[in-house]
């Protein structure tokens, strides 16, 4: 199967906004990742929206952002597609399926996410859907953030434009249908950090209404309540990220990264107990 000039090798992932495939670019002779979007995005206003959002995402350049190489619409199948760098690794949601993350590593990964967001925010781009499925962990344990602009694109094809993204990671203003800015991404990033360390989401509900109610009015248990060995400074960072009012959060993603890097350098393990010195030969002989 071909999409544009690209030869599809295998589908490697599926999500709400489309499928991701590993593909071969015969022109440059390299392996790429292609996101295949629904055919609806190839027609009318949605086609123009798709091209516009993709061009915006294509201008982003940062080591922690998946590089976008090409965009297009396959005329034979009416399939819009995004061609991105292919990176070996696992989405964070699959990493979390194996268990929680030691807090220094979780802080390091979150700091990288924050740096990627800061670069995007400086160009006026809000991600709008920060969640584990959009965070790739490479084989070198580094972060690659993907899907910039796709949440806004999906909104144009949604009956409810205010509820955009993935429910567990929505910010309060997102639920209320209020304007979003960089601090909305910071809230979602705080949810991801909490989940990495605790192994569970900070806000939970048996229904969408219950979940939204939690996000709007409930304060999650402190991480140090769940894991007493965690430092209080980590609680303070998470609580500031998850503040209900945007004005009470970090003012920008760079501030969040600066707060996380010292925590990333701390040791997760308790100090090893030093064994008592062995008795000398003379001491042992005194026993007899």
Question: What is the C-alpha separation between 16 and 27, in angstroms, rounded?
Answer: 30
Quote the tokens at residue 254. 């760079």
CATH 3.30.200.20 domain extents, the chain: 2-85
Contact at 8 Å (CB) between 18 and 36?
A: yes
Residues ≥6 apart with Cβ < 8 Å to 195:
96, 132, 201, 202
Q: What is the pLDDT of residues 90-137, one digit of tens each?
A: 999 999 999 999 999 999 999 999 999 999 999 888 888 899 999 999
Give the pLDDT mean for 143-166: 59
Q: Which of 68-72, 242-246, 283-287 has the lowest mean pLDDT?
A: 283-287
For 267, other C-beta atoms within 10 Å of its C-beta total 9
Average pLDDT of every residue of the chain:
85
- Looking up tokens 């071909």, which residue turns up? 2
Contact at 8 Å (CB) between 214 and 201?
A: no
Q: What is the pLDDT of residues 185-218, one digit of tens each?
A: 999 999 999 999 999 999 998 899 999 999 999 9
Question: What is the C-alpha separation between 17 and 147, in angstroms, rounded?
Answer: 9
**pLDDT value, residue 227:** 96
User: What CATH number belongs to 2-85?
Assistant: 3.30.200.20
Question: What is the C-alpha separation between 57 and 59, in angstroms, rounded?
Answer: 5
Out of 70, 74, 93, 129, the active site residue is 129
**pLDDT value, residue 75:** 84
**Rounded percentage of the chain residues whose pLDDT exceeds 90:** 62
Q: What is the pLDDT of residues 30-85, one digit of tens each?
A: 999 998 988 887 787 778 877 877 787 788 889 999 998 998 888 888 888 999 99
Residues ≥6 apart with Cβ < 8 Å to 97:
none
Instruction: Kindly write down the DSSP assignment for every residue of 104-143, as one continuous string.
Output: HHHHHHHHHHHHHHHHHHHTT-------GGGEEEETTS-E
Residue 285 pLDDT exceeds 80: no
Contact at 8 Å (CB) between 91 and 13?
A: yes
CATH 1.10.510.10 domain extents, the chain: 89-264
Question: What is the C-alpha separation between 160 and 152, in angstroms, rounded?
Answer: 12
Quote the tokens at residue 232. 């209080």
- Per this entry, what is the length of the chain? 288
Is 25 a residue of the active site? no
**pLDDT value, residue 11:** 92
Give the pLDDT mean for 240-260: 97
Q: Which CATH fold topology does 89-264 show?
A: Transferase(Phosphotransferase); domain 1 (1.10.510)
């Amino acid at each position: 199967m071909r999409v544009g000039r690209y030869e599809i090798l295998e589908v490697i992932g599926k999500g709400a906004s489309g499928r991701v495939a590993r593909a071969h670019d015969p022109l440059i002779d390299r392996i790429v990742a292609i996101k295949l979007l629904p055919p609806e995005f190839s027609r009318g206003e949605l086609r123009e929206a798709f091209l516009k959002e993709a061009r915006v995402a294509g201008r982003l350049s940062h080591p922690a952002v998946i590089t976008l190489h090409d965009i297009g619409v396959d005329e034979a199948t009416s399939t819009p597609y995004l061609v991105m760098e292919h990176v070996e690794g696992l989405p964070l949601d699959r990493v979390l399926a194996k268990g929680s993350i030691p807090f220094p590593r979780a802080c390091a990964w979150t700091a990288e996410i924050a740096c990627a967001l800061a670069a995007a925010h400086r160009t006026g781009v809000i991600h709008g859907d920060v969640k584990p499925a959009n965070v790739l962990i490479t084989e070198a344990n580094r972060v690659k953030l993907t899907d910039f602009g796709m949440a806004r694109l999906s909104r144009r094809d949604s009956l409810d434009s205010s509820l955009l993204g993935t429910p567990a990671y929505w910010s309060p203003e997102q639920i209320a249908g209020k304007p979003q800015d960089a601090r909305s991404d910071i809230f979602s990033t705080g949810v991801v950090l909490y989940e990495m360390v605790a192994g569970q989401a900070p806000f939970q509900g048996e229904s969408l209404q219950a979940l939204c109610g939690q996000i709007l009015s409930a304060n999650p248990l402190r991480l140090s309540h769940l894991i007493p060995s965690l430092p209080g400074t980590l609680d303070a960072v998470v609580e500031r990220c998850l503040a209900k009012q945007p004005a009470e959060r970090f003012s920008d993603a760079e501030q969040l990264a600066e707060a996380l890097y010292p925590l990333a350098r701390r040791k997760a393990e308790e100090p090893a107990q030093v064994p008592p010195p062995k008795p000398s030969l003379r001491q042992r002989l005194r026993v007899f």
